Amino acid sequence: MLISIVTAVYNRREVIGDALASMASQSYAPREHVLIDGASTDGTLELLRARMQPGMTLVSEPDGGIYEALNKGIARAKGDVIGLLHSDDLFASPDVLAWVAARFADPKVDAVYGDLQYVSASDTSRVIRHWTAGRFDPALLRRGWMPPHPTLFLRREVFERFGTYDTSYRIAADYDAILRYFGKGAIRSAYIPEVLVKMRVGGESNKSLRRILQKSREDYRALRQNGIGGLGTLVWKNLSKIHQFFDKAS
């Protein structure tokens, strides 16, 4: 089973090397890494070119943002299974892809996900938030549940049947896609009760009050568009994050 990992990157020279090393350390061999660079100007592109290895694909050109870049990567991916590794994220273990492949050995499984840790941008060993995803139940969607998007791996057929990221969303296209896949699509999933990804804090959706409000508006739109819920679901979604700051499980 070939696993494709898509990384969208733009001006991340200081951290992209860690993501590349994290991917290279994986014990699972049948893999490819598709890198979509948005025409970086800070030395990122030069670093990527210097680190290219067999099984890696690099495209560098201007794009309309992260979701357009991810869609480009998905279109170029050759794998049976497709996952993401954001440019400032790390796989939490060298065995992450092996764990994922083992779950996909069941042909009934469409999606695999696990837990996520938010870590300090300057010290990835320091955990800020711990997100225990838990097993999926359709009723949870109306309570704001979603799997941690950076830990989500999908069979290629899911994208083919239900589409990729809707680029009319600037921040919440991942939430829209998850509602589409797990809600309307009723895909079958498997949960790995392990931390799969370490995500540096300081993401685009939470960098300012304006962005937080925009994300809330987009989350609400995604809920309504997919017929999952409304304002109550949005409130539950935000409240469910509070305990993550107190649960620092390793």
pLDDT in tens, 107-138: 999 999 999 999 999 999 999 999 999 999 99
pTM equals 0.92
Q: Are residues 197 and 116 in contact, defined by beta-carbon separation less than 8 angstroms?
A: yes
**Residue 241: is its pLDDT beyond 90?**
no
Q: What is the percentage of the chain residues whose pLDDT exceeds 90? A: 86
**Residue 151's Cα: distance from chain center in Å?**
5
Enumerate domains of the chain plus CATH numbers.
3-245 (3.90.550.10)
Residues in a beta bridge with 113: 191
Secondary structure (DSSP) of 105-153: TSTT--EEEEEEEEE-SS-TTSEEEEE------GGGGGGT----GGG-E
How many residues are there in the chain? 250
User: What is the rounded average pLDDT of the residues 228-238?
Assistant: 85
Out of 17-21, 128-132, 220-224, 229-233, pick the least confident: 229-233
Q: What is the mean pLDDT of the chain?
A: 93
Crossing angle between the packed helical segments 209-225 and 231-239, to the nearest 10 degrees: 130
DSSP letter (8 states) at residue 181: I
Residue 92 has a pLDDT of 98
pLDDT in tens, 2-28: 999 999 999 999 999 999 999 999 999
User: What is the rounded average pLDDT of the residues 134-144?
Assistant: 94
**Residue 178: is its pLDDT beyond 90?**
yes
Closest to 138 (Cα-Cα) out of 179, 83, 190:
179
pLDDT in tens, 52-69: 999 999 999 999 999 999
**Residue 231: is its pLDDT beyond 80?**
yes
Residue 210 has a pLDDT of 84
Residue 240's pLDDT band, with cuts at 50, 70 and 90, is confident
User: What is the rounded average pLDDT of the residues 41-47?
Assistant: 97
Closest to 195 (Cα-Cα) out of 112, 133, 245, 247:
133
Secondary structure (DSSP) of 141-180: GGGT----GGG-EEEHHHHHHH-S--TT-SS-HHHHHHII
**Residue 166: is its pLDDT beyond 80?**
yes
Residue 250 has a pLDDT of 47
Contacts of 161 (CB under 8 A, 6+ apart): 185
Q: Are residues 96 and 115 in contact, defined by beta-carbon separation less than 8 angstroms?
A: no
Q: Are residues 110 and 187 in contact, defined by beta-carbon separation less than 8 angstroms?
A: yes
Q: Is 148 left (phi over 0), alpha (psi -120 to 50) or beta?
A: beta
